Structure formats: structure tokens, C-alpha cells
Amino acid sequence: MSLVARYLEAHGIPTVILGSALDIVTHCAVPRYLFTDFPLGNPCGAPGDGAMQDRIVRSAIDLFDAATAPMTVVRSAEIWPHGDGWRPRYAEVRPEDREKLLAAGEKRRADRAAKAAS
């Protein structure tokens, strides 16, 4: 999505990215970015919390007015309401899962190869 933002902006359409993977988005350098420090999947706010979602989307829209230079990054003040347990769980590689992960990778490569050959 960061590449799309850059492309649209270069062709005259101002953009705001509203999303959660801070390192990936800033690595790409985008025009305007509202960062929500939430698990991937809920960039606009926690499920079931319409008031939070409303505040976050308004903040994203406000950035169109507030940003005066590229690479404007604003961190939303909203806090994920269910603790920090999600952080270590994303793409976690536990020693006991290594065999399963390797098997999943092998299956995926085989499926891809079969699809490419068909």
C-alpha cells in the first residue's frame, strides 16, 4: 500500500495511510501516515469500539489538513484495549513449532510449483 500511496501522490492525489506496521510503512517513506499501534487486521480501531474507530478515522482525515510536508507520521494516542499479549504472538517461531513450520513451507512451495506447472 505504501507504494500505491507514493504513486498516487506523484500523480497529484494527496493520500493518508491509516495502518499499523510502522517499520514497513516508514521504511518505504510515504507522504502522510497515521500509525495505530494495533494488531494487523484492525487499523481503524478495536472491534466493537465504534467510538474509538470514529476518533481514529477523524484523526486520519485531519492529517490532510495538518501535514505540510512529506513523511508526516502521526502516532495515534489510542491504546489497544486487550493488553500487549498480541505483540510477541505475531509470526512467532517457537522451538516446538519448527518442524511444523518447515513442513508448511515445503507444502506451500510444492503447491506453488504445481500451480505454475498447470
Q: Which of residues 58-87 bind other proteins (CB under 8 A)?
A: 58, 60-61, 64-65, 69-71, 82, 84-87
Place of cell 512451495: 109
Q: Which residues contact 33 (CB under 8 A, 6 or more apart)?
A: 16, 17, 18, 19, 25, 26, 63, 71, 72, 73, 74
Cell numbers at 63, concatenated: 492529517
Nearest distance from residue 30's CB to other proteins, in Å? 6
Binding status of residue 98 toward other proteins by CB under 8 A? yes
Binding status of residue 89 toward other proteins by CB under 8 A? yes
Binding status of residue 110 toward other proteins by CB under 8 A? no
**Taking a C-beta distance cutoff of 8 angstroms, is the pair 33, 1 a contact?**
no
**Taking a C-beta distance cutoff of 8 angstroms, is the pair 34, 60 a contact?**
yes
Nearest distance from residue 49's CB to other proteins, in Å? 8
Nearest distance from residue 44's CB to other proteins, in Å? 5
Binding status of residue 101 toward other proteins by CB under 8 A? yes
